[in-house]
Structure 1
Amino acid sequence: MLRTSLFVTSLMVGTSAFAQQAPDQAPEADTASAQGNEIIVTAQKRDQRLIDVPISIIAKKGAELQNAGLNDFNDIAARVPNLFINDTPANKQIVIRGIGTTGNSFSFEQSVALFVDGIYGGRNRQYNQPFLDIERLEVLRGPQGALFGRNTGAGAIAITTARPSQEVLVDAFAEYEFRTNSANATAVVNGPITDTLSIRIAARYAEDNGWLRNTRLNRVEPQTDQFVGRVSLLWQPRDNVDIFGKLEYSRVDLTGSPFEFVAGGQRPDYRKDTDDAFIPEGDNAEALNGVLQIDVGLGNHTLTAITGYSGYDFAQAFNIQGRTPTRLVSDNAETFNQWSQEIRLLSPTTGAFDYVVGAYFEWSESLVRRGQTFDLPAPRVPDRIIRRRFDQETTVLSAFAQANWRFAEQFSLGAGLRWTRIDKTGEVEGTTTNFLPGPPTTPNQVIPLNLLRGEIDESTFAPSAVLNWTPSRDVTAYVRYARGEKGGAFSEFQNVTPRTFFLRPETSDLFEVGLKTQFPEIRGFFNVIAYTTDYKDLQRSALDINTAEFITSNAAGARTRGVEIEGGFSPAEGLTLSAAVAYLDAKYTSFRNGPCAASNPAFNAPGCVEDRSGSRLENAPEWSGNIAVDFDRPVTERLRAFANATLNFQSDVNYREFANPLEVQPAFSKTDIRAGLGSVGRGWEVALLVRNLFEERTSALIFPTFPVGLGPNDRVHVPDPLRSFTLQARVAF
Structure 2
Amino acid sequence: MKIAGTCASVFALAVLAPVSVHAQDAQDGAVADDGAIIVTAQRRAEAQVDVPISITNLSSEALATASVQQLADIGKVTPALRFDFAGGFFQPTIRGIGTAVTTSGGGGNVGIYIDGFYSPNPLAADFDLISVNSIQVLKGPQGTLFGRNTTGGAILVTTREPSTSGNAFEGRVRYGRYNEATAEAFANYVISDRVALSLEGQYRRGDGWQRDISNNDKRVGDYENWSFRIGLKAELTDTVDVLLRYKHGQVDDPSTMLASSLDTADFGLGAPFGGVPGTYTTAKNRIASGSVPEVFRSNTDVVQGTIRADLGFADLTSYSQYRSENSLMSQDLDYSGLDLFQIGLPNLNETWSQELLLTSKAGPKLQWTGGLFYFQNTDTYITYVNNAGNAPDQRIRLGGSSTTVRSYAAFLDATYEITPQFFLTAGARYSIDKIVDAYWNRQFVVTEEPVPDISNNKLTPRVVLRYKPTDRTSIYASFTKGYKAAISDVGGSCQIPDTNYTCNRVKPEDINAYEVGFKYEDRGISFEAAAFYYDYKNLQVSIFRTGTAEIVNAATSEIYGLEGALHYKVTPAFQINAGASYVHARYKRFNDAPVYVRCAELGEEAAETCAANGISFVVAPTTLNDVTMQRTPEFTGFIGARYEADLGGGQLALSGNLFYSSSFFFGPSGIQFKQGSYETLALRAQWSAPDDRFHVAVFGDNVTNSRYLTQAQYSSFGIGANWSKPTTYGLEFGVAF
TM-score, normalising length from structure 2? Answer: 0.89
Higher mean C-alpha deviation, range 625-634 or range 448-457: 448-457
| Mapped contact 2:629–2:669 kept (Cα < 8 A) | no
CA gap 1:461/1:22 in 2 versus in 1, 3 angstroms: closer
The yes-or-no answer on 1:609 pairing with 2:607 is: no
1:371-410 equivalence runs, <5 A:
371-372=384-385, 387-410=398-421
Q: In the aligned structure 1, how far is the partner of 2:619 from the partner of 2:441?
A: 21
Deviation at 1:573, TM superposition (A): 2.5
Q: In the aligned structure 1, how far is the partner of 2:406 from the partner of 2:713?
A: 35
Residue of structure 2 aligned with 1:417, choices 428, 435, 439: 428
Q: In the aligned structure 2, how far is the partner of 1:113 from the partner of 1:634?
A: 42
The yes-or-no answer on 1:275 pairing with 2:290 is: yes
Deviation at 1:428, TM superposition (A): 3.5
Q: In the aligned structure 2, how far is the partner of 1:361 from the partner of 1:61?
A: 30
Aligned to 1:354: 367
SS at match of 1:525: strand
1:453-464 equivalence runs, <5 A:
453-464=451-462
Q: In the aligned structure 2, how far is the partner of 1:187 from the partner of 1:84?
A: 29
Residue of structure 2 aligned with 1:65, choices 63, 75, 99: 63
1:275-674 equivalence runs, <5 A:
275-277=290-292, 280-372=293-385, 387-432=398-443, 451-494=449-492, 496=494, 497=496, 498-520=501-523, 523-542=524-543, 547=547, 549-596=548-595, 608-636=620-648, 638-661=649-672, 663-674=673-684
Aligned to 1:720: 724
| Mapped contact 2:377–2:404 kept (Cα < 8 A) | yes
Q: In the aligned structure 2, how far is the partner of 1:261 from the partner of 1:234?
A: 51
CA gap 1:122/1:17 in 2 versus in 1, 3 angstroms: closer
| Mapped contact 2:18–2:528 kept (Cα < 8 A) | no
Q: Give the residue type in structure 2 aligned to 1:47.
A: A
SS at match of 1:703: strand
The yes-or-no answer on 1:258 pairing with 2:255 is: no
SS at match of 2:668: coil
SS at match of 2:559: strand
CA gap 1:156/1:26 in 2 versus in 1, 3 angstroms: closer
SS at match of 1:706: coil
Aligned to 1:231: 230
Aligned to 2:31: 34
Higher mean C-alpha deviation, range 464-473 or range 595-604: 595-604
CA gap 1:154/1:216 in 2 versus in 1, 3 angstroms: same
Q: In the aligned structure 2, how far is the partner of 1:285 from the partner of 1:127?
A: 11
Aligned to 2:90: 92
Q: In the aligned structure 1, how far is the partner of 2:107 from the partner of 2:127?
A: 17
Deviations 1:591-639 (A, max 9, x none): 2232247699979995632222311110101111111111123235x31
Identical counterparts, % of pairs: 22
CA gap 1:132/1:20 in 2 versus in 1, 3 angstroms: closer
Deviation at 1:500, TM superposition (A): 4.3
Q: In the aligned structure 1, how far is the partner of 2:169 from the partner of 2:653?
A: 22
Q: In the aligned structure 2, how far is the partner of 1:152 from the partner of 1:643?
A: 37
Q: In the aligned structure 2, how far is the partner of 1:22 from the partner of 1:620?
A: 27
SS at match of 2:624: coil
Q: In the aligned structure 1, how far is the partner of 2:688 from the partner of 2:121?
A: 40
The yes-or-no answer on 1:80 pairing with 2:87 is: no
Deviation at 1:285, TM superposition (A): 0.8
Q: In the aligned structure 2, how far is the partner of 1:455 from the partner of 1:417?
A: 26
Gaps of 5+ in 2: 270-280, 389-393, 607-616
The yes-or-no answer on 1:683 pairing with 2:693 is: yes
Aligned to 1:697: 707
CA gap 1:607/1:648 in 2 versus in 1, 3 angstroms: closer
Q: In the aligned structure 2, how far is the partner of 1:44 from the partner of 1:602?
A: 54
CA gap 1:329/1:269 in 2 versus in 1, 3 angstroms: same
Q: Give the residue type in structure 2 aligned to 1:592.
A: N
Gaps of 5+ in 1: 376-382, 434-445
Q: In the aligned structure 2, how far is the partner of 1:156 from the partner of 1:19?
A: 15
| Mapped contact 1:171–1:732 kept (Cα < 8 A) | yes
Deviations 1:241-269 (A, max 9, x none): 12111111111112563312245559633
Aligned to 2:391: none
Aligned to 1:213: 211
How many aligned residue pairs are there?
A: 694
| Mapped contact 1:18–1:569 kept (Cα < 8 A) | no
Aligned to 2:274: none
| Mapped contact 2:104–2:402 kept (Cα < 8 A) | no
Deviation at 1:550, TM superposition (A): 2.3
CA gap 1:494/1:505 in 2 versus in 1, 3 angstroms: closer
Q: In the aligned structure 2, how far is the partner of 1:684 from the partner of 1:242?
A: 33
SS at match of 1:99: coil
Deviations 1:212-234 (A, max 9, x none): 11243454332211111011121
Deviation at 1:20, TM superposition (A): 4.0
| Mapped contact 1:129–1:250 kept (Cα < 8 A) | no
Deviations 1:251-298 (A, max 9, x none): 111256331224555963301221333xx3211111111211111111
TM-score, normalising length from structure 1? Answer: 0.89
Deviations 1:421-442 (A, max 9, x none): 1111253433445xxxxxxxxx
Q: In the aligned structure 1, how far is the partner of 2:559 from the partner of 2:345?
A: 33
Deviations 1:34-84 (A, max 9, x none): 233221111111111111111111111234324543222222222211111
Deviation at 1:650, TM superposition (A): 0.2
